[in-house]
Structure 1
Amino acid sequence: MRLLTICLVPIAAALLLPQLPAQAAVPNVAAIVNAASYASNGVAPGETVTVFGSMMGPDSFVSGQVGADGALSTELAGVRVWFDESPAPLVYVESSFLAAIVPGSTSGKSASTVQVEYLGNRSLPMVLPIMPSSPGIFTADSSGQGPAIALNQDGSLNSASNPAQAGSTIALWATGDGQTDPAQASGLSVGVQIGGVDSAASYAKTQGLLQINAQIPVGVVSGDAVPVQVQVGQAKSQRNVSVAVAAGTGAAGREWFVSPSGQGTAAGTESDPLDLATALAGAAGRIHPGDKIWLRGGTYRPPNPNGFNSTLAGTTGSPIVIRNYQSERATLDGKGSEITLSVNGGYVWFWGLEIMDSNTTRTTNQTGGVHPNAYGVGVYAPGVRFINNVVHDTAQGFSAYDASSDSVFYGNLSYYNGFVAPDRNHGHGFYMQNIAGTKLLQDNIVGDNADEGFQIYGSGGANVVGFRVFGNASYNSSSWPTPHYQYNFLVAGGALRKDIFFNQNYSFFDPAADAGLVDFGQYTPGQDITVTNSVFAGGYTGPDVSMQAGPVVFAGNKIYVHSSAVQQARLELGPGQNTNGWTWDTNQYFGKNLFFTGTTDGNTAQGVNLDFGGWKSATGFDKNSSFSGAPPSGAWIYVRRNEYESKRANVIIYNWNLSDSVAVDLSTVLTSGDSYVIQDAQNFYAPPVAAGTYSGSPVSIPMKNLAKAAPVGFTAPAHTGPLFGTFVVLAKRSGAQ
């Protein structure tokens, strides 16, 4: 791989520098990502990053220069990359892409302002969140997925034709471990999992690069593509990276089969399946960590009013996986139950399931949250993951509180959850709290829930700590039985509220409705929060940042509210709070030229409305931001590749020109010859809105005349198209219609 070669090039062997032009245009930076994984949720000190753009350097490729001290030069062919005026070591440069190492001077910061300089001209600033660690594993084809660059114990390249033996040691290369310059005496812990099993590992650092020596665990499953993942501190590397392990050298966990007609005394085989309640209870001690439970298609109903209760317990290295079999539609229907699924055992993964309530009674004459239908999912144990599930028409989609530390909610759809009471609508897509470790909410599509989309909220005795909220879409919260829009995202309250990263999320309300909210902080004082690279469209006001002591990072966001909305953005400081150490910049505002700044006691705000110039002057914010009174134009398209299933992705489209269809580049998801379908996330179980064989060209996704599923017991609210769309790209299975 080029990067590994370049990092080792001595100065005597460096390429000759090209003749530089007398003048250069202003560099344009499009994206800054982890050089190994292409992740863009923030960077860590010492991480090698790839910068994509244009006019950032010479037309020909130039590799880095290593000085006598062994360090890479910070200036190369007229190019420099600045992190808060600290120059970054450069690995290579070229006009449209370059690689640099995040300077150690970023350690301890919450954000850094980055600019690329070429021949004295600097790009517009880009603000990046600074993470304690952000690991990525280098892969053989440089895609960030597939076989890792790995050497077997004998020094040969690991591959399907040359697998490693169980018990032997392989070498991996990664970046983003959060190293500092000078190095700290004690860094973050480094761990490796191979095939879901913890591996004995050692590591060594060089500039921008981490070599990890990991032992293939005895007993790990064998195969050509055994998953491998690196963890540094609390952060894990990308998924869908693998190494090859020789057949016969490991042992896989047992596979179990479950069906709606299964029996508790069954063998648990495909021909003699268990029932679901028995499997979730461990099948009388027969199901163990590392096992996989396949759910056949059909409808599963709880055996009692308490709903399904999972007491299965895996381990951090050997979770138990419960998954639908070969994409069959396995439905848990909680009708008549208190809750559809309770999870009371840790380290269990639920994958590809439909969780719902078919009860058509969605109204109650009682106030106070008495629910007529079953709750969806309640998580009361650590290390649980919900992956690519569909939860709908329950009293509340996902609930997970302090006991469910280090849980992951990834790629799920959550819609039409909630119920109607005399006081108000109740029930959210997600209701989350946390105190220890982290909770990851990533790439979920959430819409049309009765009350709120994402409620990351705690009362005075609860906690909102350690949330990672990445790549989610939330639209039209509280749209039925009549639109009464509430919060798409609420991060607020709690006795303790801190360590929150909110990046690349997408909010939508119909801008003409002038209703709906997004709030970061409310009711009680919070500490640090980072809100970056997100889109907030529509609403009563734009985003409201309230009661945050900081440091706060609010940067790289796009915000549009209708000209008749109340305000474009709101800032409300609590008693004794100030904006020292905050970073609020590089945002794009559209629509309403009115910004609010003031104070609040947690309930009542006092302050002034200012135009954009007055806002910048009063706050010191948005030096490099822009405002336009016109609405946005064109199309904003976001393709989010799924980390758990290959050839799957979420697509979020803001179609400002109201085009009949939008052309979407799916080259990061599909390869030529792949058969695919595209499902409308607002009508997921209907026939696909597009299908075909991928040719490598952009794929047309329709945006008009889209049908929408209806909530159980009610008529469907309006589809968000053609202005906004949420879609899921899937590989078409052989034989599927």
Structure 2
Amino acid sequence: MRRWRWWLLLCVCLAGLLWGGSRPGQAQSDLPWVTPFTPQRVLWVAPQGTGPGTLAEPASLAYVVKSARPGDLVWLLPGTYAGGEALYMLRDGTAEAPIVYRACPAAHVVLDGGVAFASAYTWFWGLDMTNVTDPGEVVGFIQTPDGPVKGGSALVNVKVPGTRLINNVVHDAVQSQSGIGGWDGGPGQVYYGNIVYGNGQNPETDRAPHGTYTQNNYAADGYKYFVHNIILDHAALCGEKCYNFHAHTQGAGTVSGYYLFQNVMANGRLAIGGANANLSPSDHHVVLQNYFYDMGKIQLGFRKPWQGLFAENYVARNSSATLTIWGAGETAFTPPGATIVRDNTFVYQDNWHYLDLYSMTTTGLLGSAPLRPGDLIDDNYYGEDVRVKYWVAEQTLSLKSLAAWTAQSQQDGNVLGFDGHSVVGPNPTASVVFALPNAYEPGRGHLAIYNWAGAAETLVDLAPILPPGSAFGLYDPQNLFGEPVLTGTFDGEPLAVPTPAEFQSYVVLPAVPDQAHVCDPDYARPGLAGYLVWPLLALAGSAVWAVARWLGGRG
């Protein structure tokens, strides 16, 4: 009887551990931009691979992208993978079983030339996406009815459902290409943890590249998620024509349903809105807990009203903001809800917080409509007094204080009046730090440091990212695969971090990355989930032996 119980328990434990449990290192979350992934098959590829796809005999990327199937996890070994046919993503995954291409832990994997996502439910994770071999050639791709062709407007073009770009670096696109082109084409697009900088290296052309250029149709596809990205330094390439983030259309496209959360953006503008020919408004937006520095202008709405939530953002060194909101009296569309701007911090805004406010309907002129009673702009902090250029109810006014702005907006139809409980106070003199953990990789995170103290070093608490005792490296986002700025072991106390500039962003990486063993030939086992099965068998054996002894002792 005891032997029967022992073998039954062994089977139950193995089944639970191997198929019912979560996978090591894979995030478990209810957040819509984080989905657990259980591979059904594991493959390895190498730049010169010719094998069947084991770790000992890796395949080529060109072979795998033509033969991949739903549920595949493809580990990319270090090296440079040339652009061209190998980077046409043509094999579909599914929502439950995507195809995942991931860089080996701590490896520098370069995709040289551009990527076109013509396949649904494909993830790219941890890759260096750039153009290094022919900086004079346009090497992006676009999808046509006859297949992908060269000439895309971005280094990475996405126009299919279920695409996820996770913890990649997208940089130095050429010939007026944007870094990421995230277009209509289906639900479920997620852009998480990416570093985007320095794209569009030909300012002599008329085209204006952006860090990210994107459109979305919320009614058809739901939210498009941009979360935990660092987007930097596009204004240096072509001035005000270039944007860090440009959700925009002046044609038949739609700009609705953008969800921006905990992104770090610096030195380039942000715009969400369009002058689309179909008159549709720009609505259902969420811009929450983002960290902005020297953006020039943040523009919400463009010749059509904007609706959404702009909340808990930290905004510094911006010259101005533009907000085009719904006015009362809309007849062409049913307004989707209130516009809410709350609990934001605006500091060091070039002597005052300067806002252009327009109220309109989709068919009316800018500034023609009175305000809606239920919109909310309140509980914000301003480091300088508010100056508002105010186009509302066919008035053009210049409001030169917070009190005047509140009174005038209440007079023109808003029940509470805008910013009635907001505060004007001093600009900070102590440094402000935000430490943002990565939801996909334990021990990885981003830092946004506002060095208002002007100190050579700033104390940073890494506890939101690392547990005490963790070895780590601190990296410049624009040199992620180079030498770390700082290394050490987090002891639970604030750490002195170099801050040579007024604003500094960093990437924190663990010294031993998540799933570090999967590309180690002395550890990993080729085949179906080999890198998981053997450790789990050992764990299962220990657990079964302990419980079996307990059962045996009970007789």
For Structure 1 versus Structure 2, the TM-score category normalised by the shorter chain is 0.7 to 0.9
Q: Is the 8 A contact 2:49 2:58 kept in 1?
A: yes
Cα distance, 1:670–1:420 mapped onto 2, change above 3 Å: same
Residue 491 of structure 2 aligns with which residue?
Answer: 695
Shift of 1:294: 0.8
Higher helix share: 2
Whole-angstrom distance in 2 between the partners of 1:635 and 1:276 = 46
Whole-angstrom distance in 2 between the partners of 1:631 and 1:589 = 8
Letter in structure 1 aligned against 2:312: N
Residues 402-441 of structure 1 mapped to structure 2, 5 A cutoff: 402-422=184-204, 426-435=208-217, 436-441=221-226
Q: Is the 8 A contact 2:437 2:446 kept in 1?
A: yes
Shift of 1:374: 8.0
Q: Deviations over 1:682-718 (max 9, x none)?
A: 43233212210111101111101xxxxxxxxxxxxxx
Whole-angstrom distance in 2 between the partners of 1:599 and 1:667 = 47
Higher strand share: 1
Cα distance, 1:238–1:252 mapped onto 2, change above 3 Å: closer
Letter in structure 2 aligned against 1:598: W
Residue of 326, 329, 339 corresponding to 2:108: 329
Residues 408-487 of structure 1 mapped to structure 2, 5 A cutoff: 408-422=190-204, 426-435=208-217, 436-449=221-234, 450=237, 451-477=242-268, 487=269
Whole-angstrom distance in 2 between the partners of 1:459 and 1:383 = 26
* Aligned-partner SS, 1:278: helix
Shift of 1:657: 1.4
* Aligned-partner SS, 2:256: strand
Q: CA RMSD in A?
A: 3.2
* Aligned-partner SS, 2:403: helix
Matched, 1:268 2:53: yes
* Aligned-partner SS, 1:453: strand
Shift of 1:635: 1.5
Q: Deviations over 1:535-563 (max 9, x none)?
A: 2212331x211143551100011112444
Whole-angstrom distance in 1 between the partners of 2:69 and 2:55 = 18
Cα distance, 1:523–1:397 mapped onto 2, change above 3 Å: same
Shift of 1:225: 4.4
Matched, 1:302 2:83: yes
Letter in structure 1 aligned against 2:264: A
Cα distance, 1:536–1:492 mapped onto 2, change above 3 Å: farther
Q: Is the 8 A contact 2:448 2:505 kept in 1?
A: yes
Runs of 4 or more, structure 1, over 6 Å off, are 237-240, 371-374
Whole-angstrom distance in 2 between the partners of 1:635 and 1:418 = 33
Q: Is the 8 A contact 2:434 2:448 kept in 1?
A: yes
Q: Is the 8 A contact 2:25 2:441 kept in 1?
A: no
Q: Deviations over 1:320-367 (max 9, x none)?
A: 110001221000111xxxxx1000111111100000012675799xxx
Residue 725 of structure 1 aligns with which residue?
Answer: 504
Whole-angstrom distance in 2 between the partners of 1:409 and 1:556 = 25
Residue of 417, 420, 427 corresponding to 1:631: 427
Whole-angstrom distance in 1 between the partners of 2:437 and 2:450 = 18
Residue 359 of structure 2 aligns with which residue?
Answer: 573
Whole-angstrom distance in 2 between the partners of 1:548 and 1:476 = 29
Matched, 1:293 2:74: yes
Residues 167-566 of structure 1 mapped to structure 2, 5 A cutoff: 220=19, 225=24, 236=32, 252-263=39-50, 266-281=51-66, 283=67, 287-303=68-84, 308-334=87-113, 340-358=114-132, 361=135, 375-394=154-173, 395-422=177-204, 426-435=208-217, 436-449=221-234, 450=237, 451-477=242-268, 487-494=269-276, 495-509=280-294, 516-526=296-306, 528-541=307-320, 543-549=321-327, 551-564=338-351
List alignment gaps of at least 5 residues for structure 2.
Answer: 1-11, 139-149, 328-336, 410-416, 518-555
Cα distance, 1:659–1:312 mapped onto 2, change above 3 Å: same
Residue 331 of structure 2 aligns with which residue?
Answer: none
Residue 136 of structure 1 aligns with which residue?
Answer: none
Whole-angstrom distance in 1 between the partners of 2:312 and 2:128 = 31
Letter in structure 1 aligned against 2:253: A
* Aligned-partner SS, 1:461: coil
Q: Is the 8 A contact 1:551 1:582 kept in 2?
A: yes
* Aligned-partner SS, 1:418: coil
Letter in structure 2 aligned against 1:681: P
Whole-angstrom distance in 2 between the partners of 1:644 and 1:673 = 20
Matched, 1:582 2:375: yes
* Aligned-partner SS, 2:464: coil
Shift of 1:500: 0.7
Letter in structure 2 aligned against 1:636: V
Q: Is the 8 A contact 1:259 1:295 kept in 2?
A: yes
**How many percent identity over aligned positions?**
26
Which deviates the most, 354-363 or 448-457?
A: 354-363
Shift of 1:573: 1.1
Shift of 1:224: 6.4
List alignment gaps of at least 5 residues for structure 1.
Answer: 1-161, 167-215, 243-250, 335-339, 365-370, 478-486, 510-514, 705-720
Residue of 370, 375, 384 corresponding to 1:591: 384
TM-score, with normalisation over the residues of structure 2? Answer: 0.75
Number of equivalent positions = 456
Cα distance, 1:441–1:577 mapped onto 2, change above 3 Å: farther
Whole-angstrom distance in 1 between the partners of 2:119 and 2:58 = 22
Q: Is the 8 A contact 2:436 2:464 kept in 1?
A: no
Q: Deviations over 1:438-482 (max 9, x none)?
A: 2110000001124111111222411122221100111112xxxxx
Whole-angstrom distance in 1 between the partners of 2:249 and 2:446 = 29
Cα distance, 1:398–1:299 mapped onto 2, change above 3 Å: same
* Aligned-partner SS, 1:615: helix
Q: Is the 8 A contact 1:464 1:493 kept in 2?
A: no
Letter in structure 2 aligned against 1:410: Y
* Aligned-partner SS, 1:426: coil
Residue 675 of structure 1 aligns with which residue?
Answer: 471
Residues 8-87 of structure 1 mapped to structure 2, 5 A cutoff: none
